[in-house]
Amino acid sequence: MTLRLKNRWLLIASLAVGMLAFGLYRRSQTSSRFPPPQSFRILETVIEHVRNDYLEEVDPRRTMEGAYQGLAAALDPLSSYLDKAAVAKYASPRRTALNDVGAVVTKRPSAFPLVAGVVEGSPAEKAGIQPGDYLSALDGRSTVGWTLSEIRWYLKDEARAPVKIRLIRENDTREVAVERAPLYARPLSWTAEKGTAGIVKVNHLHPGAAAEFKNTVLPRLAASAGPLILDLRDCHEGEAAEAAAFINLFLQAAAIGAFEKKGGFREAVACPETPVAPDLFLVVWTNAATLGPAELVAGALRELREAKVVGVPTFGLVAKQDLFKLDEGDALLLTTSAFVLPSGEKLLGKGVTPDEVVEAGGREAKPYLEKSLRSGTAR
């Protein structure tokens, strides 16, 4: 590409970013969340300096992708600019069956993604990845500017091809090649545990989880005593509708909360069916990798069913996103509503605070069981 053509495309892309910023400003003049006009003049100046003074010619497409990523990343952990490959994975009818590495990550702006949990038996666990590790690069690309959604969809794929991950653990940096693989054979499982009605390990809250409970867990509860433990540790995927169906197993309500949109409009979430286990005392286990729909389950059952939450505070990702496709096949994934409990408590950015804190918050069940069965926790 000639110098003149490169500059032409950079100028066009710069104007596009300027128009986007100006449009955001015009649509939000009554809101203090967006900067005043002088900030956009600064943006224009920055673009001009990059175009005229940077030591190398800049690929306009890559530069603008970085600008879009930065704009989306400044909103919240879930909003993202997705490239074509990520859009294809997000929109795939088979997305719940995509292969994954099994590292559950969280992300703060301008920071490396943090491994909050590792799925048991997953390729990530076999490769030695541990909670507390930072993923500083994926296939040689730094992750510091990536959003949480970008990272999640990059780690998934229809193929089992490995992804090269650069880890930071304390003062040590190393690289591992981690294959992608199916993570779960079933959405949940039940195991017997003395003094309880058993432990239900919920792997995900995609469609089918509530039906699996009715088919495989409910028949085992007829002669049980003690609390039923819902183990939501490392449960980081699913859908709000399935979370509501799962909650409906234990309670019936016209509204267990609502997703609140811009302007205060609320879309109520109902549990209208007759519950199949309305009288069981519930204990919910959480860890740092209890995310999204699983947080909705924990928060709603505690508030409406007096379930006891045992574990560690969650990250706070209970929200809905909408995908807005762009002209080149890429898209914006934007958070459009956040879940609010009947009490008015919003879980996005706050998460669920446990009633009983487990300091380690790891995979070992013993400290969770001790706190679940101690006097005052069970009825």
- Kindly report, residue by residue over 184-216, the tens digit of the pLDDT: 999 999 999 999 999 999 999 999 999 999 999
Give burial (CB, 10 Å; 0-12/13-18/19+) of 193.
middle
Same domain, 193 and 298: yes
Residues 139 and 288 in one domain: no
Q: Is residue 130 part of a domain?
A: yes
Other residues' Cβ atoms within 10 Å of the Cβ of residue 85: 13
Same domain, 360 and 246: yes
* 81-117 pLDDT tens trace: 888 988 988 888 777 789 999 999 998 877 899 999 9
CATH number at residue 236: 3.90.226.10
Q: What average pLDDT is seen over the chain?
A: 86
pLDDT at 60 over 70: no
Q: Is residue 66 part of a domain?
A: no
For residue 245, the 8-state DSSP code is H
Q: Is residue 249 situated within a structural domain?
A: yes
- Cβ atoms 308, 377 nearer than 8 A: yes
Regarding whether 146 and 171 lie in a shared domain, the answer is: yes
Query: Does 56 or 190 have the greater pLDDT score?
Result: 190
Can you tell me the mean pLDDT for 299-325? 95
Please report whether residue 74 resides in a domain.
no
Same domain, 339 and 246: yes
Longest dimension (CA), the chain: 79
Whether residues 99 and 157 fall in one domain: yes
- Structural domain contains residue 162: yes
- Do 218 and 363 fall within a single domain? yes
pTM: 0.84
- The total number of structural domains in the chain stands at 3
The residue range of the domain holding 127 is 92-178
Final residue of a domain: which of 130, 153, 178?
178
- Residue 12 included in any domain: yes
* Cα distance between residue 273 and residue 269, in whole Å: 13
DSSP string, 54-77: SSS---HHHHHHHHHHHHHHTT-S
What is the per-residue pLDDT for 5? 41
Any domain includes 183 = no
- What is the per-residue burial (b if ≥16 Cβ within 10 Å, else e) of 42-54? ebbeebeeebeee
Q: For residue 283, list its beta bridge partners.
A: 229, 308
The string of pLDDT tens digits covering residues 271-282 is: 999 999 999 999
* Residue 54: pLDDT over 50: yes
**pLDDT at position 32:** 47
> 31 and 174 share a domain?
no
Digit-coded pLDDT (tens) for 13-23:
444 454 454 44
For residue 96, what pLDDT is reported?
79
- Mark which of 127, 151, 178 sits at the end of a domain: 178
Please identify, among 178, 207, 240, the residue that sits at the C-terminal boundary of a domain: 178
69 domain-assigned: no
